[in-house]
Amino acid sequence: MPKVEIVTLKDMEVIEVDGEYETRFMNEKRYPAAITNYSLSMGEKMGLTKGSQLTDLIKLSAMESVRRDLEQQQLSEESIEAAEGIDIHNYLKVIYLAIIGLNRKLDLTFDDFLEKYHEDTLTIIQTYVSLVLASMNINKNQFAEGFKKSTAKKSRSR
């Protein structure tokens, strides 16, 4: 079983206070999340993913370096190239599928999830990377090094 991540969903409202608008969050609830065979299958059935295999979800293209660089608030040339391929909407799909993968009886549509998941881009990327790497059951540093080696071979052969 892959490592379980915790994803927090909450309602948001925008209210006016002294002529300024503020966001307030309420009804916060935490859910365990992990990529499972069930979540992969549901992703395909719901049309959120093109296939039910994990490899269909992994389009990381140096994602570990992007995550690390974002944490340090700087982007390397490698991360800038990888960031061009970032599709946050696809990452949100994976996070949603990971929630329903462990919470089968949860009545939550993808649109409901989008209304209740209010994280910043860095947190979305970190959660996505954690979920995918946990499902692969490998160390993040080993993944990043292996990915660099595999992409270096492909680019040399061109």
Whole-Å CA distances, 58 to 44, 90, 158: 15, 10, 22
Residue 107 sits at the vertex; the CA angle it makes with 91 and 101, to the nearest 5 degrees, is 45
pLDDT at 40: 87
pLDDT at 49: 81
Distance between CA atoms of residues 38 and 36, nearest Å: 5
Distance between CA atoms of residues 134 and 126, nearest Å: 12
pLDDT at 105: 92
Q: What is the pLDDT along the chain (158 residues), one digit of tens a residue?
A: 568 999 999 999 999 999 999 999 999 999 999 998 898 889 889 988 876 555 545 554 345 556 566 666 665 665 555 555 667 888 899 999 999 999 989 999 999 999 999 998 888 888 888 888 888 765 445 545 554 554 454 444 44
Asked if residue 134 lies in contact with residue 66, where contact means CB atoms within 8 angstroms, the answer is no
pLDDT at 158: 45
Whole-Å CA distances, 35 to 31, 98, 153: 13, 5, 29
Helices (H), the chain: 37-45, 63-71, 77-83, 88-102, 110-116, 121-136, 140-157
Q: CA-CA-CA-CA torsion for 96, 98, 102, 107, nearest 10 degrees? A: 10
pLDDT at 3: 82
Asked if residue 40 lies in contact with residue 97, where contact means CB atoms within 8 angstroms, the answer is yes
pLDDT at 62: 47
Whole-Å CA distances, 7 to 17, 73, 81: 29, 23, 28
pLDDT at 126: 83
Alpha carbon 114 to chain centroid, angstroms: 13
